[in-house]
Chains A and B, each alone.
Chain A
Amino acid sequence: QVQLQESGPGLVKPSQTLSLTCTVSGGSISSGGYYWSWIRQHPGKGLEWIGYIYYSGSTYYNPSLKSRVTISVDTSKNQFSLKLSSVTAADTAVYYCARGRGPSSIYWGQGTLVTVSS
């Protein structure tokens, strides 16, 4: 059973960089046919794609966040990471990592709340 777990600071100051890591267990991040994604959900709001990465390193970012987002993968640690720069209060959200194929993600992390505040 594939499991994903997000980790990282729960509080980030405005203008700083939000950094999260997703650790994958029960399966290899190098498995072909899947991508590894970050999705966020603002408090009380809907789901928003941030972007995703293939194990090869190819990335796809939501255009609305593209200038501030970097997603990377570390196959040796079976992890992938999210960096979101120049954060503001509008980036306060629950951040999920997930494994996907097409628009379908069957495996999700539990989510981690990141609050942007001084």
Chain B
Amino acid sequence: QSALTQPASVSGSPGQSITISCTGTSSDVGGYNYVSWYQQHPGKAPKLMIYDVSNRPSGVSNRFSGSKSGNTASLTISGLQAEDEADYYCSSYTSSSAFPYVFGTGTKVTVL
């Protein structure tokens, strides 16, 4: 089961916008609108930020938005804040494995 590909790190200054990519194939990201994004602070459990490509759970800031184009999903954080510094993981449904879900490799977001 191959992990989805994310950049190892992304950085930005407070107030800026950053985008994290999550690249898969037509058997996962590109083929289904079942992409989720998680935020994980050190020592904490992951927190769901986006589900079904672009939907935010209740309570998640509207500074977080999700989208998809082809085989690549993206998470955009607008108005970057110090508290956004964390690891971010994408996850997708996949039809190319005996197990139906796969995580991305993870991206460390640094607020400069």
> How many residues from A make CB contacts under 8 Å with B?
21
Residues of A near B100 (CB, < 8 A) are 60
Residues of B near A61 (CB, < 8 A) are 99
Residues of B near A111 (CB, < 8 A) are 45
Cβ-based interface call for A31 (8 A)? no
Cβ-based interface call for B20 (8 A)? no
Interchain CB contact under 8 A, B46 and A62: no
Q: Report B11-37 CB contacts with A as 1/0, cut-off 8 Å.
A: 000000000000000000000001110
Interchain CB contact under 8 A, B92 and A103: yes
Interchain CB contact under 8 A, A63 and B103: no
Tell me which of A14-22, A44-52, A76-84, A85-93 binds B: A44-52
The answer, among A60, A96, A104, for a CB contact under 8 Å with B51, is A104
In the complex, what distance in Å separates the CA atom of A94 from the CA atom of B1?
20
In the complex, what distance in Å separates the CA atom of A46 from the CA atom of B3?
10
Which residue on chain A has the smallest CB distance to residue B60? A106
Cβ-based interface call for B93 (8 A)? yes
Identify which of residues 61-112 in chain B touch chain A, using a CB-to-CB cut-off of 8 Å.
89, 91-93, 97-106
